[in-house]
Amino acid sequence: MAKNIGRRGFLKNSLAVGGAALAFRSMEERVLSAESAAGKASAPSASTVAPLEIPKGKIKNLEISRVICGGNLIGGWAHSRDLIYVSPLIKAYHTDEKVLETFRLAEKRGINTALTNPVSNRVINTYRKEGGKMQWISDCAAGDLKDAIKNSIDTGADAVYVQGGKCDKMVKDGQMKALESVMSFMKDQLVPCGLGAHSLDTVRECVKAGFEPDFWVKTLHKDDYWSATPQDSRRAFDEISGSKKEHNLHHDNMWCTNAQETIAYMATLKKPWIAFKTLAAGAIHPRNAFQWCFENGADFLCVGMFDFQIVENSEIAAKALAAVTKKGRARPWIA
């Protein structure tokens, strides 16, 4: 016969079971629970949030906030591992008005620059026509590189660079002469120009070739998140080699396979460094990324953000920069 359980015993057992269930909840469930408990709105309006100042640096004559608004989410590109619905979802979310409000929030919170693909030039210029001051760095990843560079500048880009995937592929394929020609063409346009890379080998080869960009755009993130490619399975140029079917090989899940090597090598370069993929496409919380990236040499962080993330992320960034200013860093600020 079952033992009769009193009210106190029932509550004790229920709480124990509830605690065990909580321990097994996913990270996303815990985040959603915390957000709900805090009563956070889905996304504030720029008119309702307090202004914030983010420290700035300079690339040539361009004064840029040390946090830059990344364009992947706005443009509809999501590094979502094997989830096939995420890119269409974020593209549907980012209506023109949602993008405009994202820029308004970013500017109110001290972020004065966006780094995007040329396909976003229309909405950026709409924002500027309504009085916005957001600067634009174009990755020029739209067809022929020279055409994309010229078109980006003609439609308002304040700086241009060869997008990391394109630069990686040209280096991997030995197209250094073609890249040199693109580099020369960019310099003739009289706006700041840069080179991007996911692979550290790309940066090394460009330096060896004598290229002198005004700035570098290089990935940097920790590798201690769950979906990171196991150390012994990482390969050169994984980031542009496509997704593999084997579980432990690259599958759109890692963009800086050798963070410590990257930190050490970038410390030897005397040009501004915009670090991107700093959150490993959403796998790392800004609290665990921003200060670490700044401490390890990045002059700017390019961060893709939804509108509802901007207030918290800008607050974290401001505190991170204050902490780094107090603590210091091995690589001096280059910008």
- 145-166 pLDDT per residue, tens: 999 999 999 999 999 999 999 9
| Residue 12 domain flag | no
The pLDDT of residue 40:
58
| Residue 33 domain flag | no
Chain center to CA of 83: 19
CA dihedral 254, 260, 261, 265 (to 10 degrees): 120
The pLDDT of residue 15:
46
| Residue 10 domain flag | no
Chain center to CA of 330: 23
| Residue 259 domain flag | yes
The pLDDT of residue 84:
86
67 CB contacts (<8 Å, ≥6 apart)?
Answer: 54, 110, 111, 290, 300, 301, 303, 313, 314, 317
Q: Which domain holds residue 170?
A: 59-327
The 10s digit of each residue's pLDDT in 11-66 is 455 445 455 444 556 555 665 565 555 555 568 888 899 999 999 999 999 999 99
| Residue 120 domain flag | yes
CATH code for the domain in which residue 123 is found: 3.20.20.100
| Residue 2 domain flag | no
Question: Which segments of the chain have a pLDDT < 50?
Answer: 1-3, 10-11, 14-15, 17, 20-22
Give how many domains the chain has, as a whole number.
Answer: 1
| Residue 238 domain flag | yes
The pLDDT of residue 10:
45
| Residue 138 domain flag | yes
pTM, to two decimals: 0.88
CA atoms within 13 A on the CB side of 171: 26
How far apart are alpha carbons 299 and 232 in whole angstroms?
30
How far apart are alpha carbons 252 and 250 in whole angstroms?
6
